Structure 1
């Protein structure tokens, strides 16, 4: 299968290992991964902060860039959520019904990584090996917008050497929320403290998730505490093998 990688801004600029791991994993499974170089921001930040008009050119560019591909994957529940739930809405509110229809078509072929692996490729045992004690944080957009459910957990349970430990109050937000963390810093910090307390209670040495944005927030808090717990994107865990 030929799969287009929607890398996302944050992965591209700050956490490229998550994107590289996505490519390694899919290529190991026998698929061709292509990187459309015209891609840019999906516009989620613009919509969420009240600038839909500024989002419209980004929606047009995203649709134009990914329209030629039958399958698109992103290592980000947040950005996939924006593509599915915001792009057509932005186009429709701007009076561009043709763009809205094209955006809906592209969004119907766009998947978060765990969705692609389980629902499209029909595989859960990826031949991964990751000898660590791991806890999983289900990010808000993955949990509530995409409703990925237990797909990431099913994948993690099939990783050899991995001990999966349940995260208490896992469904609670970590407090990042994009610009929420900037505009509501005190509340965000309090939410992060709760999340970190729950992560540390598991005794895990790795906290994983499907969004680098949340991992950045959680990882920053853990590093300031010098807790010795790492944050690792789900793609990196699944791409690991005994020989890597």
Structure 2
């Protein structure tokens, strides 16, 4: 897997064109450099919750216009290749647990790791320990998958997303520990580099204290009540659900 394909996958998730930032791109405004926190805001929260990116006007005002058509990613600051993992040729029926919940490994997918170590004030226990294990460790959060693009996330909010046979669970962020279920909501794109078609998902950790188990128990909800302020929504997300990998699979 290479950087160009990875940026295409990330572009599909965020709904904007992303290019590598090396410090020599004419020094774009800091609002145009995608980082972990605004990636989480856009892909998990959706633009309906926070218009995170501002377009600066001549008068110095900031108008929240959603995503720019083109943004930049500092690959060294965004990704952590040492934690990448190739699940593409893995067929594993092992029963695994993460955060005392089932962990369905993403067999058939390739995981690009995000650089999230030491990114949060509560430390790294939420990630658990690295390497193969079938059991949970103290303090870690369960694993969940989320396959909705920014555009889809807006639709979820507007329609009060129904997870299951017309059951209404409330306003907020939905994810599932079942990657087969999440795959049905994956974003698909055709790579300009390879000419092949791919699906892309996010692999997250979800705070067991903050999530609600839906009537359909393989779906989890981070509830964000109607009328919650932008600042509070951002706070809820950052302490509730944290992507740590981008999953890619050839269709």
TM-score range, shorter chain: under 0.3
Q: Point out the structure with the larger helix share.
A: 1
Give the TM-score, by structure 2 length.
0.26
